[in-house]
Structure formats: structure tokens, C-alpha cells
A and B are shown apart, each in its own frame.
Chain A
């Protein structure tokens, strides 16, 4: 019974059955749904004549395709519009709770789940979206699934899966002011690589993680998938409980007290064995900037673009060559000499209130540089937007020359109208710098909100620690 990891506990408490080969059937508590990966699942259900197992486990929201301007005019792109309407129809027909596009609670699925208290400690949470790992910040087992598995969960409330390995990433020490959760997770990915967590669930532990707010923990868990791990998680503590108290979907009254008492178990036991542990010293971390086309291609802001000819491995060398050609960067160039022409502050990684406060802090009283063609702030949800406006952050951004938009995934993956043109270079608070991710031919540098904001006002990447002096 003792010496279990947090992941072991979550797995064991949701295991319905296990076959002779160790394949488990895992019960799913919360199913989050958006418009892109669900239509084929609903169609499959309908064709097979099946009904959803438990509609009250589902929360749906359109986020990938929604416009971030002029919502009153609807969705201009007919193909996007059909996809959102299909979600609306499926949810209406089956009695599934959905926050419609113009609902003030609408937003990015991974922002609204926690914000509503629909994500709770001890849950299994799935969504047809790889960044579902975000919800692990609450001591939940949360991971992304494909559309066939969306259908499987709809029909059975379960998933067939094998237990993954336990991977501990322990971060100890005090972060320097200006170094954020985003920098922590980018540094972790730089250390273990984009396949470092394949086949694993990562638990982020240590004093640095305990010191992070829930927003910060969500940023770290969000990018666990960028390290190859389907699930990232953090143990429950007072910060978790305080965040959840009085959220609309969180339990209340006596049920809340019972839940809180039960959540006290949601941590790895002393002496629990991990298959692998990696340690990071927070005090030595600098703000991070990606320079290539994979999140593992990342350097501290004081770094220089690597020279591919010094890479001994053939395939890696070729990879660096390709990345530098795509990014139009030269070996030996200083990161601080890179000049973005776009800035995107948003996404399920960094569009929560704390992110917007950090970005606004670096912008206040300054102007977006003339060389920046577009600077966007896209809040993670309608409620984040409202909160930011009540704090006057929208005015800080607008006065500086940023555009203040409606919530959605926006330019993180450019499924709506917000996208880069070929050759554009973007300082982005999102999670993926893949070729074409923010628009075909677009070049993405992943950074923290404060670093993106600093790049907007200086016109190049600059060390936010110095900017704040």
C-alpha cells in the first residue's frame, strides 16, 4: 500500500480491470471536448447506434477555430463555421454542457476546465488534445487522446491503456526574478529532449514547483507533452486547494470538506520509486528562447546559435542545418540579436491572468517597437479577459500598441484567421515552434510572457532580468 508515486495512486484508483498482459481499463472522470477532434467521434457513435455513457462528465467548448475579433459577426470561414456548428449540434442533441462561442465563460479548453473547477485533484481527465497534460497541475491524471479514443470514452467512460513508467523531474531552489515557469519547462525540455518523457508520466517535484502558483504549474504540466510525456503532474498542496475553493464546478459545503480531506493523499509517498529522476537547480536558470523548429532547440537568452558542424551525430547535424535554414539564422549569432516582427501572447500555455500581468509588467509605460508588424494579446478565456480589464491590463497593452483580442487558441496553431505569413518571425508564448505551426513559412521563437513583451518593446530578444532592473 505504501511507497506509491502519485501516478501509481491515480492509476490504481481508476483501474476497472486488467488483462493477463497488463493492459488496463481505466475509468475517466472528466471528458473535455472541442470542435476539432470530436466530430468524427460523434459520427462514429451515431453510426454504431451508441449513446454517451455519462454526459455529466463532459464539458465542451469551441476554441481552435473561433475568431478573436468581431465575434458578433460570427465565423467568416465557412469550413471553420461548420466545425463549430457541428459541435454545437452534437452537444445540443445529446444534452452535453457546452460554453458557446459568445458565452462569457468560453475560452481555451485547458484554461476553462481549471477556471471552472471542472478539473479536480484525483480525477482522470482526457481531451482530444495533446495539451490536456495541463490539468495534471491539480494532482490529476490528465492526458491527450486521438479521436477514436474520444469516441471510446464517449461510449464506455473508459480507455484501454498500459501503465506508463514513473519519471520524476525535481526542480529545487529559488527562481531569479524574471525567470518564470515557462523558462523552467523549456529548460527541462532542453535537458531531456522532446522524446525524453516518451512512455512516461512525469511528476514535477521539488521546492521550485511547490513555490509556483497554479498558473505556473499549469504552464509546466502543459508542456510535458513537448518532452514526450503524455501526462505531467504536480502533487496537491494548499496552493491547489486555495485555487479551487468556490469555483463554480468544484464541490461545496460538506462535500468540499470530504474532498479536501481525500486530496491530502495525492502526493508521492516518501520512498516511492521512480524509474528515472532528473534534477534541475532553479537558481541557475536563465530566461529561455527557442531558436529552432523543435522545443528542445532552446537556449538561455545569453546564448549563441549553435554551429551544426560541431554536432558529431549525422542526423542531428542535418536537423540543425534544416532548422537554421528554415529559421534563417546563422551559427554564432547572439539570441539577443534576433529581431521578431510579430509577438503573440496567448495559448493554453501562457494566457492566464498571471501571464497577462507578467507581460503587462514588461510593457507598462512603453511602446511596441516600430519594427514589430503585429503584437497580439489573446486572453485564455472570457473570464481571464474580464479580470485583466478590471485590472486595467488591456489599457496597458493597447496604449503600448498591442491588439487586445477575444479568447481562443488563435495564433498558437493558426486555425483561425490569426496567422503568420511566410518569413514572419514571432516571439510567441505558445508551446510549439514546429515548421509552419503558426502559419506556413512562419518562424516561431518560444518564450515566456515577460520575454515576449520585452521583445515587443525593444524589437529584439532581451534579457528580462535586465529590463526589470
Chain B
């Protein structure tokens, strides 16, 4: 996983509640057996006028100029400002892969769906929960100032806004550490392999039927 320290960039606002992972990456693109290449199909059904399928040359497709990511002023944005319950629905990690592949490294919202939130941390994307009033204000400010940029400082847990104001945010200490150091959490868990084996042995004694099948 790519390390995450400080991140600066242009902010794009997606003013919609309950953005689901089907919208973030439609099902036909889940047939890929790879982790990369999903960027051109991020928000595919909102972003293009035609129907997208894997294997198409997406650069030749007709974009929907009304969709916010296609507005010239938001091209190249890598921080996404979102609304309640972002990433709800399907567990597909492809949604995070698509955001990351498109260049999004930070998502700000008043709330996230649990599985999506967790998937972000596995891929070097930082989801930040902020109070609804702050999110409301950011939507207004981003709309008002073309080229609105911010800097997210994960070690300090601070966001430096366009006008110089500094906001604080909360993040789980374990996840913060993994993010900053770009750690593979499987490796971390395997450091406790002996403890897992010990647990497994006791568990097998207490509930042997859980170890009865399937092979």
C-alpha cells in the first residue's frame, strides 16, 4: 500500500446522499480479475452518455458534461467532498480501486458505509468524517472559489483549508499508523501467528464441530 503522509489537491464536490458502490463502479467492470484499470469507469453511468463495457476505449466515449467530475474546473481533482452514507451497498473493493485509479486519495463526508470505509484504509485512500455543518460549509466554499484546494496532514490529523483555516479530524490510531507507514496488515497480523494458533487450539476443544468439515 502506498504511504500516506500529507496530501494536497483540488476538491470536487459530489452533492448527493447515499452514493452507492454500484454507482461508483457498475457491475460489468467487476468481471476483471485485476486490481487496477478501473479509473476510466469510475461513476461510469453518470460520467458518460453511452453504455460502457469492459474492453472499450473509454477515451472515445461521449462524456456527460453535466456530471460534476467532467466540469473543466474540477478536472484533476484528487479530494472528493461527499454527503451522508457514502459508499453504501455492495462490498466491492473495486469502488475504492476505481477512486484511487482516478487519483482520489481523500474523501470527506459526514458519514460513510462501514465496508467501504474499511476498504479505503486497505488501499491508501483516506476517508475523513466531519460534522455535517462543516461539510455544508465546504460545499458552499468549494462552489464559490474556483480552484479550491486543501491540504490533508494525516500525522497531525489536520486539514488546511483554502482560506488558511485549520480543521482537526479523528482517525483510528491503528489505521493511521498503517496508512502513514504504508503497512501490509496481513504481515502485522502474522506477527501474532503463535497467538492465533493458541486461540485456535482452545477453540477447537470448545467447539470441535466448527472444525469438522469441509474437506
Contact = CB atoms under 8 A, between A and B. Distances in A.
B62 interface: no
Given A16-B192, A50-B186, A157-B200, A146 B85 contact: no
A415 B27 contact: yes
A354 interface: no
A151 B93 CA distance: 12
Contacts of B66: none
A65 B31 contact: yes
A195 B111 contact: yes
A345 interface: no
B114 A118 contact: no
Contact of B91 (A13, A23, A130, A151): A130
B91 A152 contact: no
A56 B211 contact: yes
B30 interface: yes
Contacts of A80: 31
A130 B90 CA distance: 5
A435 B23 contact: yes
Contacts of A19: 174
A65 B30 CA distance: 10
Interface residues of A, number: 88
Contacts of B15: 315, 318
Contacts of B123: 148
A146 B30 CA distance: 13
B214 interface: yes
A300 interface: no
B186 A156 contact: yes
B215 interface: yes
A399 interface: no
Contacts of B92: 36-37, 146
A36 B114 contact: no
A249 B51 contact: no
12 contacts: A40-B33, A43-B35, A97-B214, A118-B214, A147-B93, A148-B119, A155-B186, A195-B84, A250-B209, A262-B206, A415-B30, A435-B23
The 8 closest A-B pairs by CB, nearest first: A148-B122, A251-B209, A146-B93, A39-B33, A146-B119, A195-B85, A144-B91, A130-B91
